[in-house]
Homo-oligomer: A and B are copies of this chain.
């Protein structure tokens, strides 16, 4: 299979969004998606974009993406966060995920960060195996915490009383 890795363009937004939906279905949370492909265009392709995206393209189809942005660690300074690494299911097993991951790590090195961070579902064994094979460390003692939209609303109601 022949494919190329390149920076995403505005015209890729719809296909990028389709891969985001595909992953959310796999992660059993498709109902949680509250953005659409217009948000991808707006947020990713403005001046000072909110993220940077690399795509894997095969015959003008986007078959994989790696979506990253900077964070600030109070231990390491500027770090790179890998929000999503997605390869469309029927194209897996061809090294596309590794090629995208290579690009992410090369980019991390180019911008001089001391860490690449991301999150993985603890039941996604194939992803965990993939990441560990890349030298990454699963930080099992750290939990992700969310205060969601309803939580924000309820909290503000509570403290305004």
Chain A residues packing against B (C-beta within 8 Å): 20, 24, 29, 32-35, 39, 43, 48, 50-51, 67, 69-78, 81, 83-84, 102, 105-106, 108-109, 113-123, 128, 131, 134-149, 151-156, 159
- What residue of chain B has the Cβ atom nearest to residue A131's Cβ? B145
A143–B156 touching, CB < 8 Å: no
- Copies of this chain present: 2
Q: Could you tell me the distance in whole angstroms from the C-beta of A26 to the nearest C-beta in chain B? A: 13
B145–A118 touching, CB < 8 Å: yes
A139–B144 touching, CB < 8 Å: yes
A83–B77 touching, CB < 8 Å: no
Which of A34, A69, A137, A155 counts the most B-chain CB atoms under 10 A from its CB? A155
